[in-house]
Structure 1
Amino acid sequence: MIPGAHLPPLRAVRALSAQLCPSRHLCSGGSRNGGESPPVQSNGDGVREGEEVVSGLDAGRFPREMLLRLPPPGGRPESDDGENCSPGHGQRRQFFEDVRLEADRIFRILLQDGPGFSARQALDEMRPKVSNALVRKVLFRIVVSVDSVNRERYPKLAYKFFVWAGQQEGYRHDTSMYNLVMKVFSECGEVKAMWRLFEEMAEKGLPVSARTFHLLICTSGKVGLRRRLVERFIKLSTFSYRPFRNAFNAILHTLLTIEQYSLIEWVHEKMILEGHSPDVLTYNIVMRAKYMLGKLDQFHRLLDEMGKNGLTPDLHTYNLLLHVLGKGDKPLAALNLLNYMSDVGCVPNVLHFTNLIDGLGRAGNLEACKYFFDEMVKKGCEPDVVCYTVMITSYVAAGKFEEAQRFFDDMLVRGHLPNVYTYNSMIRGLCTVGEFDKAFATLKDMDSHGCTPNFSVYSSLVSRLRNAGKDSHANNVIKYMTDKGHYLHLLSRFGGYKRC
């Protein structure tokens, strides 16, 4: 929070963005994309929901949620492992080492369960000292070991151990243990089993956390089911986020992480109808949803409402505003907002500049991108790999690969290692200028530096090679992917490819 800070009146921001200025690259009357509203791909809920392959000008960009992130309500999210002991405490380190060894033994016993061997009997004979730390470690070991081969067997082993542990004298499962078993079931697609555990938690009166809600909502694919789940959590007296506004915020935050923007609107309406006043976090989430749905008028109304209710914008509010102004190609208004932030003691950091540059890049205003990048450096903000990647991606999307290459080289000189998005943009840029051999070499270089290409990198390179009539080169890329064992389950997406 920024004491005493107020957003400039919305009409003033709009007026500033509409003013003409001598320098063309600092002022533009409208978006080169034809408006401020972001493109939204539809699914069953009417919005895009985590597509792995993105095409068009936004291909290879950082997902907006990675840049426009918000802190979870209530502080740090619940941990799955829980071993946060200080390295200076020798006794605690020894305790957790003993727990780890015991958990390994139990895990090996569980793997032997089957005809002719009773894991339950072996555990009874082993007689381990059951504790939260031990149960957590065993369940976490199962969670991280789930794969396509064992996904039918591991839920049964996890539940068998869970039941056995719950029957041991002096031990009772808490909410985090239920969440870990739910996580195993979630990884293996056992939705009905998750609901049975949820019912059991309710019967025992255990507090239900935001983590519980997150696990259930992510596995409840149908919109109607998700709405019923939200209704139920709102009414639960055991939902651990109280007062009620915090419970709503926990639900809204989870819906934001899975990009359920229409459902966010619905939950916000219920929150207001039930008489719970939104706070800054609520407004930030709902404004994000309105923006992602392209409802800019409602976005601005919420911003006005926030000020009328006496709420002070925080760093995340400004972050979103700068991105919206950038995407709407309003660099002059963004410049005024940055100056205002500094005046009220909210000094813009690299994330604010990055989000602004990302928005301007999506709008195609490269001159403004370069201006704000230089301004950021002048103000002492060191650009990080994300900022460089946003600049590189913007220039690649505009077909200016030489400028993108200069930013890539400068990034390396400054000691920043490229990430998967950086490499993806450079590979796309090399394909654009016909340097296909260099693009394939960059893919191999990326892998050799421990940066595993995501499927979007492979898909983009194969598509561009095929479009250029280089089918044999495209097949070499697919073969490289299969030889590395990457994304074999998505091999069918490369139509016409036959694996030898």
Structure 2
Amino acid sequence: MVPSAISILRRIIALSRESSLPSLSSSSTTTHLFRSLKTLTSKPSQYEDNSFHGENQAVASKDDYFAAIHHISNIVRRDFYMERTLNKIQVNVTSELVYRVLRSCGKSGVEAFRFFNWARNQPRYDPTSIEYEELIRILGRTRHWETMWKVAEQMKKQELALTPDTFSLIIESYGKHGLIDQSVEVFNRMKNFNCPQTTEVYNSLLYALCEVKNFEGAYALIRRMVRTGGVPDKRTYAILVNGWCSAGKLKEAQEFLEEMSRKGFNPPVRGRDLLIEGLLNAGYLESAKGLVRKMTKEGFLPDIATFNSLLQAICNSGEVDFCINLLHDVCRLGLCPDTNTYKIMIPAVSKVGRMDEAFRLLHCSIEEGHKPFPSLYGPIIKALCRLGQFDDAYSFFSDMKARGHPPNRPVYTMLIKMCGRGGRFVEAANYLVEMTEVGLPPRLQNFDMVTDGLKNCGNHDLAKRIEQLEISLRGI
């Protein structure tokens, strides 16, 4: 019987690790294994289970498929003799395969271009606009602009349309490197490709202008956009406001928002929220905090997404107490926290040992209908262990499971690690066993830590049982 797809892939990976390059062309056995990849490079939707269709046909799972994509991508990025190695693999080239490999090689412009040219020469494969556009994006990001335009001209000859999204990326790729003249040229060349100048495209040129601090040109572009019938969206306002804020021109940003409002073009979000986000993006945290303080004193509330961005920035700066007080103030004014609010605040207050506040926030989230998933209560367990309150941590962990909120692998792993650091190796062993019972195989490092700890404590019988459990799980 042909070995399963998983065993084939493991053998390939093992062989790959023995060589500095993934060509592995020196062995007939390796060549045979590469050829087996043909079964792994069809669309994953064809393989919904791991059963055998016939005695000699191995069916790959989605994991096998994406592992094969990863392996091919490594060949593209690292193998000097890429084309020769790919020919030996005999891959079934499809549009989806080419697209996914290109996506994986987003930082390797030359190599991605070589792979695309190799794929075009394979039988029964005709590139679609999706693969062409992905390659254009890669070449733009990696500053291979001459090659990028050659690919665009190839698309044009094959009557494949370039979308506004691709032109936007090209314009921004020039803008990020300060090449504003080239950005404007691309904007003007769009009509040669029969591509409309959408709001998205205007936003990209606006971004390029703001990158070089050409705010006069940026505002002139917005006026042209309005004059030609375009409608500014949230990103239009955000780009210009962010640009002004990053240049320290808060007054100009406020005047721009007021002027657009007078002309009837109100932003999709409130102007003050844009200003807060602009200040945060520019690194003016104190100014953003001051603006929110002023808003709350006047009885105004920020948008919840803007408020969460502010909380994250303040927590990252270590001012957790300020965040707690600010959250209390806005809640009194009627702001309803969402799941992201709690995902920011609970880990932050737990990390600084504010356990009463952490439990209060968790209970508030439950009362508001949010399910306490592991990333919410995991930080509380970790903080309790750090404080040496292991019994409270175990009790809280059991309570979460009893309420129907099962932990995931990271929470178990964290708890085992914290038990080990606290010398609680028996409890760590119990959680190792519990993990296996619920179908979450522990990491090898967890087994090593627990068995070594038990032996050092003189508990050799339990250490031996844990070793036997590891052997039974790994089949060694």
TM-score by length of 2: 0.47
The structure carrying a bigger helix percent of its residues is 2
The structure with more radius of gyration: 2
